[in-house]
Amino acid sequence: MEIKGMKHQNLALELLKKILNDEIRGRAKTNLVKSKALLEMLETALKKYNNGLLTTAEIIQFLVDEVAKKVREQDERERESGLSVEELAFYDALAENESAVKVLGDDKLRMIAVEVAEKVKANIFIDWTIRESARAKLMVLVRRTLNKYGYPPDMQQRAMIPSWNKQRRWRTVC
């Protein structure tokens, strides 16, 4: 609301763009799948503005109404899902495959996400980012869990592995 009421619309747009971009990039550390969708939405809107299809007032309205709304909806979804941030990141990566959602259903995907998150947490090594063998072990654990529940093998490569970064926060890596 503060940005909408600013006198200089160009400055308001730049400020809003920076705020949203920082928020989305911060979310990429925990849930790459959802942050990519939000970033694409932001970039598409900015391309329309840069191509002259939207005025400054229209782009500000769109960013506040649509992109910021999606960010808030994602926050609510995290609270209401009953899953931890790590489990939700796995769930989103698994649910990205529509055929897996149809075949396995929501409940089974939740069970897979919880089990994979637990196994990854239990098997994180200090040097997993350096040693190929440690990364391979994590991949095997994830693949076995996906096979156990019948996750479609053609989409297992696209399923992502959330992992700890140096600040002890979850991030999603391929």
Cβ pair 143, 156 in contact under 8 A: yes
**DSSP single-letter state for residue 150:** T
Helix/strand/coil for 50? helix
Helix/strand/coil for 82? coil
Residue-level pLDDT, tens digit, the chain, 174 residues: 666 566 777 787 888 888 888 888 887 777 878 888 888 888 998 898 888 888 888 888 888 888 888 888 888 888 888 888 888 888 888 888 777 788 788 888 889 889 988 888 887 766 655 677 777 787 888 888 888 888 776 655 555 444 334 343 444 443
Polymer length in residues for the chain: 174
Domain residue spans of the chain: 9-81, 85-173
Dig out the tokens for 42 from the structure. Answer: 């932001």
pTM, two decimal places: 0.67
